[in-house]
Amino acid sequence: MKVAVVKETYPGEQRVAMVPAIIPALTKNGFEVLVERDAGIAAGVTNEQYEEKGATLVDSRDEAFKQGDIVLQVRSCGMDPDCDDSSRVRPEQIIVAMCDPLGQAIGVRDFAETKATLFALEMIPRITRAQSMDVLSSMATVAGYRAVLLAASELPKMFPLMMTAAGTLAPARAFVIGAGVAGLQAIATAKRLGAVVQAYDVRPAVREQVESLGGKFVELELDAGKSEDKGGYAKEMDEAFYEKQRALMAEIVAESDVVITTAAIPGRQSPLLITADAVAGMQPGSVIVDLAAERGGNCELSEPDQTVVKHGVTIIGPTNLPSEIPYHASQMYAKNIANFLQNMLDEENEGCVKINLEDEIVCGTLAARDGEVTCNRIRGILDMPLIETPETQEEPAPK
């Protein structure tokens, strides 16, 4: 089978779905790798580097789709409003990409009409065997790191404690809300820069992880109940919970120089955690980096892809931080995809994949096939009748 890598067209997207270093792992398994010319330039990868590792360059997107049996992308299917690949996709083709299936369910429905097969990498199940394929965790690692650097560049203070001839400089105080992958990386990065770090998560079980990175775990008197779904992702709580949470959290926010929020729920509006009043209670010059800005934000005053100053506080609302470090983000993403493809290798046919619906990873990420939306979570969002099969017994996403 031929694996085609195409250039990303989403505005500001600098990542590429495959990097040269990973290509030998694919060719060793019998795949032929095609790369659209200049696909990796924005990520710091040249055409020559692809060729040196065994890839064949093709001159256009049309040619990549025409030849590729499997097409690899970073963003596909409704995520890019300026690019419509539906005319390029063939019914027998397999697309492997991120496509925001729960937030852009209509895009999945439209893709299904091509009768091609779509694997949505955001739906990789949170199981041990799939950790090496988990693109959300990989990209969250990059986002958490980058968020701290953004905050440090905006804060009118230095992060570390410094004892100088001119006097002692107190360390910055950082508060990280959410101790998932992005939050833990933010904690580690802020701590390495010398800040005093506090962190909060609705899951008390993450206390040990926070403390192992040098952060102080903040406890709020709240009954979190079941804060995770069966897939290991954050679960939406009721408004009464969030209202009490906001009130308790405002005190910690007020004493922090930097606040980084990471609380996101797949396919849903981000929970409001920092109100306008809480922002007004912060010291002028403080910084908030809202990693949930794409879906409304954890901060009431954040704006997607904008940096605003309210009540003297700088509020940053990035929506695609991994693209700002495209070299390593692409490296991690490519490794995730290679592992995903290797998991589907057909043992009887070298260089081919087999869609085994009894495999939890394959079944969990399959979004569309043979003209149908195959995932019940997506079908629930689209008000489509659920498919009653053993392979797709999933809870529909709440509305």
Q: Where are the chain's structural domains?
A: 2-133+325-392, 140-319
Mean predicted lDDT score pLDDT of the chain: 92
* Statement: residue 137 has pLDDT above 80: yes
The active-site residue, picked from 134, 201, 257, 290, is: 134
Q: Which residues contact 51 (CB under 8 A, 6 or more apart)?
A: 57
The active-site residue, picked from 10, 145, 233, 333, is: 233
Q: What percent of the chain has pLDDT over 70?
A: 92
Strands 117-120 vs 366-369: parallel, antiparallel or unpaired: antiparallel
Lowest mean per-residue pLDDT among 96-105, 125-134, 243-252, 299-308: 243-252
Question: Quick check: 296 and 242 in contact, CB under 8 A?
Answer: no
* Statement: residue 7 has pLDDT above 60: yes
Active-site residue flag, 331: no
Q: What is the mean pLDDT of residues 23-51?
A: 97
Structure tokens at 35: 């790369």
* Statement: residue 390 has pLDDT above 80: no
The active-site residue, picked from 76, 137, 270, 302, is: 137
Active-site residue flag, 323: no
pLDDT for the residue numbered 226: 57
Active-site residue flag, 131: yes
pLDDT confidence tier of residue 236, bands split at 50, 70 and 90: low
pLDDT for the residue numbered 123: 95
Question: Quick check: 135 and 219 in contact, CB under 8 A?
Answer: no
The active-site residue, picked from 60, 86, 131, 306, is: 131
- Same topology, domains 2-133+325-392 and 140-319? Answer is yes
pLDDT for the residue numbered 241: 78
pLDDT for the residue numbered 322: 98
Q: If we measure between CA atoms, which residue out of 239, 46, 186 comes closest to residue 201? A: 186
Q: What is the mean pLDDT of residues 30-43?
A: 97
Q: What is the mean pLDDT of residues 3-17?
A: 96
Q: Give CA torsion, residues 226, 232, 236, 238, to 10 deg.
A: 0
Look at residue 254 and give its three-state secondary structure.
Answer: helix
Concatenated DSSP letters of 284-350: TT-EEEETTGGGT-SBTT--TT-EEEETTEEEE--S-GGGGSHHHHHHHHHHHHHHHHHHTB-TTST
Active-site residue flag, 200: no
pLDDT for the residue numbered 224: 59
Give CA–CA dist 177/352, Å, rounded.
Answer: 43
pLDDT for the residue numbered 392: 41
Strands laid side by side in the 196-200 sheet: 216-217, 196-200, 173-177, 258-261, 287-290, 313-316, 307-310
Q: What is the mean pLDDT of residues 355-365?
A: 95
Strands 70-75 vs 94-98: parallel, antiparallel or unpaired: parallel
Give the architecture-level CATH label for domain 2-133+325-392: 3-Layer(aba) Sandwich (3.40)
Q: What is the mean pLDDT of residues 19-46?
A: 97
For the domain covering 140-319, report its CATH number.
3.40.50.720
pLDDT confidence tier of residue 355, bands split at 50, 70 and 90: very high
Concatenated DSSP letters of 89-124: --TT-EEEEE--TTTSHHHHHHHHTTT-EEEEGGG-
The active-site residue, picked from 38, 62, 90, 126, is: 126
Q: What is the DSSP letter of 164?
A: E
* Statement: residue 118 has pLDDT above 60: yes
pLDDT for the residue numbered 70: 98
Give CA–CA dist 43/40, Å, rounded.
Answer: 5
pLDDT confidence tier of residue 9, bands split at 50, 70 and 90: very high
pLDDT for the residue numbered 334: 98
Active-site residue flag, 379: no
* Statement: residue 396 has pLDDT above 70: no
